Amino acid sequence: MRARAGVVPARPAAWAVALASVLLPSLLGGCGRNEFEDRTAVVVLGGERSPYEVDSCGLDGRTVFLVAHGTDGAVLQGVMGVRKDHKTGIRTSTGLTVDLEPTSTETRVAAFGAESWARRRSTGSPPGTITSARLRGSRIQFAGTVVPVDANDVVRPDGTPQRFSVDARCDRAEG
């Protein structure tokens, strides 16, 4: 390629680097702040995805807490223990309840790790399972399998376990 006066021919490597530096931040934006708004949560329960509005959330020592409600009246309460680095979730210290219809005692589901179950002073085996727990910046994320429970969080023997995930964003401080 021959250069014209006053125009430097573009080198392919320099062009690729320049393009990547412009496009890469916008492509990665989905992993951060622009994925969904602050004080919102997405709960996937049995394959059904539902939006929630976060009423209360935060970090108290080494415990993350989360309370949220769905547009249909559902109520989510979650807790997650974190390691000293304040980033790494502890599965055994994580738990949640979801009241899909708070006026009914037939629509409550729960999952708890052994430590979070014991801290509630609950007896017996914890309901459900927690398979992952982590903090990603201001994102609270955990997943596992919930089981139907009664109003006292005792597992209902006729219930079917369901996979769940919670992804909540909590930037703004309480108050």
Residues 6+ apart with CB under 8 A from 129: 111, 144, 145
pLDDT digits (tens, 9 = 90+) for 42-101: 999 999 999 999 999 988 889 999 999 999 999 999 999 999 988 899 999 999 999 999
Is the pLDDT higher at 25 or at 34?
A: 34
Domain 39-169 part of CATH 1.25.10:
no
Strand partners, 129: 145
At residue 116, does pLDDT exceed 90? yes
Task: Please measure the distance between the N-terminal and C-terminal CA atoms of the chain and give it in whole angstroms.
Answer: 64
pLDDT digits (tens, 9 = 90+) for 144-158: 999 999 988 999 998
Q: How far is CA 7 from the centre of its chain?
A: 52
Mean pLDDT to the nearest integer, 123-133: 94
Helix, coil or strand: residue 74: coil
pLDDT at residue 6 in the model: 37
Q: What is the DSSP letter of 101?
A: S
> Domain limits of the chain?
39-169
Per-chain mean pLDDT for the chain: 81
Mean pLDDT to the nearest integer, 168-175: 74
Nearest to 36, CA basis, from 22, 20, 49: 49
Q: How confident is the model at residue 123 (pLDDT cuts 50, 70, 90)?
A: confident
Give the range among 17-21, 35-39, 152-156 with minimum mean pLDDT.
Answer: 17-21
DSSP code string of 6-18:
T-PPPPHHHHHHH
Give the other-Cβ count within 10 Å of 133's Cβ: 26
Mean pLDDT to the nearest integer, 28-40: 61
